[in-house]
Amino acid sequence: MVPPMEEPEPRRVYRIRVRDRDGQPIDDGLLLYFKSPHSLTGEDVLELQLHGNPHSLRKIISHAICLGARQARPGEFLYRAYLHHKISLLKAESLNKLIQAPSFEQYRSQFQEYSGQRRSPIELLREQWMDLIGLFYVALDHSEDDIVVEKDLILQRIQDILESIRLYRKAYRHSKKRWKGFSVLITGPVNSGKSSLFNRLLGDSRALVSDIPGTTRDLLEGRISSEFGDIILLDSAGIRKTGDDIEKQGIRRAIKEINDVSLVLWVNSPDMDSNPEIVIGKRKTGIVRVWNKCDLRPAGRGHSDFEVSSRTRKGISRLYRFLEEKAQSYYQDENEEEGNLLEGDLSSHRQYLFLDRLAKHLVSLRDSLEQRSWEILLHDLERYNQEIQLASGLVTHQMIYDRVFQSFCIGK
C-alpha cells in the first residue's frame, strides 16, 4: 500500500505514493508516524494525508481493510485517548460540543472551557464537594485544635451546592434549544413547491422534486452557514389527509416540529392554498406565509409575507436576507440571555443526569443531618466519591486535605 520502509522516524514527514493491491498508483500523499505514548490516543499512530477525492479515498480505505485494518467507530480515537489517560472525560465531552457549535460565538464560548481558560461546571462543583467533605474531616479529626464546625455551616455548604446544581441544570435546559441552532421548518400543503424552495435556498438539489403529491415523506435537513451562525432548514411532508401509513408518519413529524423550531415557513401556491391555523396548534408567533410559484399567479393582497418563484428565483434573495436577519437576531438574543445565567455550561446530557443524582444525594444528606452521626454521614459522602470521579476525575483524600489546609489554620 505504501513503499516498504524500516520503522519511520517519529514526527517526521515522508512523501509517499499509495498503491492498490495490484501495485498501481492511486495517490501521492504524506505519511507521519507518532510513537506511543506521544500521540493523540497514546498508541502508535500512522497518519496518511491524502487528496480529498472521495473515490480515491474509498479505494484506499477498502485496500487498508483488506490488509487487516478496520474503520474507526464514532468517537473511537478520543475514547482510546481517554483510556490511555491522554484526555479526561470532561475534555472529550467539551471537544464534542465544541465541534457541534452552531455559531462562532458558541464555538468561542466552548473553546474557553476546552482550552482551560474557563473551568467546567463539574470541576467547580467538585471543589464545592471537596470543601464539604473537608468540613467533616476537620470536625472529626481536629476537634483537639479547638476548631468547631457548626451544623449550620454544613447546611449552608449543602445548600450552596444545591443552588449551583439548580442553576447549571436550568442553564443546560436553556442551552439545549440554543445549541440546536436557528431552525426553519418549510411546511404547508402538498405540491406547493416546498422541496423546490428547500433546494433553492440551499443552492443544492437535496430533496426529490415531483408533481406527484406526497413525494416528501420524512424530514430532510440542510444547513446554511451564515456569518452569524447556522440556519438549519427542514423540508417536511406536505400536510393533507391520506391513507398512506408512511406518509402519515411524515406528516405527524412535521406537525410536531412546528412547535419546536425557531421559525415556520408556511408555503402556499396557486396549486395548493391552505390556512396554517388548521395545524399550527398553540403557536402564535414565528410563522411566515410564503406564496410560491408566483410566476404562475401572484398572491392576493394580504395573503402572504413573501412571494417567490423557486423556478425563476424571483423573491428568493429577499427571503434569504430575511432568514439571515432572523438568524442574526436569534444568536444575538441567545448570547445576551446566556450572559444572565451562570458562567459555563454542561457539555453533555450525562453531566445533566449526574447533577440530578448528586442533588438527590445531597438532599438526603441534608435531611438526615440531625438523626445520623457525622462519621456515618462522612462515610456516605465518601462512598459517593466514585460518582464524582466518573463525572470529573479523581477525588483523593490528599486533594480534600489540601482544601482543608487552605481553609483553616491547622497545624501552624
Domain boundaries, the chain: 13-70, 118-177+346-407, 181-339
> Are 269 and 292 in contact, with CB atoms under 8 Å apart?
yes
What angle do the packed helices 349-367 and 374-383 form, to 10 degrees?
170
Residues 158, 106: Cα–Cα separation, whole Å: 31
Report how far Cα 66 is from the mean position of its chain's Cα atoms.
Answer: 35
Name the nearest CA neighbour of 185 among 274, 239, 254. 254
Residues 317, 308: Cα–Cα separation, whole Å: 9
DSSP code, position 295: T
Pick the CATH number of 181-339 from 3.40.250.10, 2.40.40.20, 3.40.50.300, 3.30.300.130: 3.40.50.300
E-strand ranges in 173-293 read 182-187, 220-225, 230-235, 263-268, 287-291
Q: Which CATH superfamily is domain 118-177+346-407 in?
A: tRNA modification GTPase MnmE domain 2 (1.20.120.430)
Residues 127, 347: Cα–Cα separation, whole Å: 18
Domains 118-177+346-407 and 181-339 share a fold: no
Q: Which CATH superfamily is domain 13-70 in?
A: Probable tRNA modification gtpase trme; domain 1 (3.30.1360.120)
What does each of the 412 residues of the chain score in pLDDT, given as a tens digit?
A: 767 777 889 999 999 999 888 888 999 999 999 999 999 899 999 999 999 888 999 999 998 899 899 998 888 888 888 888 888 888 888 888 888 888 888 888 888 888 888 888 888 888 888 888 888 887 777 655 555 667 788 889 999 999 999 999 988 887 776 677 899 999 888 888 888 899 899 887 655 454 545 555 567 888 888 888 889 999 888 776 776 677 777 777 877 888 888 999 999 888 776 777 766 666 767 889 999 988 888 876 667 889 999 889 999 999 999 999 999 888 887 665 555 444 567 888 888 888 998 999 899 888 888 888 878 888 888 877 777 776 765 545 555 445 444 444 444 4
Kindly list the strands in the beta sheet with 25-34, ordered across the sheet, starting from the edge strand earlier in the chain: 13-19, 25-34, 45-49
Residues forming beta bridges with residue 33, ordered by sequence position:
46
Residues 369, 162: Cα–Cα separation, whole Å: 15
**Strand bridging mode 25-34 / 45-49:** antiparallel
SS3 category, 152: helix
Burial label for 293, CB within 10 Å (0-12, 13-18, 19+), is buried
Residues 193, 113: Cα–Cα separation, whole Å: 44
Name the nearest CA neighbour of 45 among 62, 31, 59, 65. 31
Using the structure block, give the residue that is written with the C-alpha cell 428568493.
316
| pLDDT tens per residue, range 28-39 | 999 999 999 999
> Are 248 and 242 in contact, with CB atoms under 8 Å apart?
yes
Residues 341, 330: Cα–Cα separation, whole Å: 17
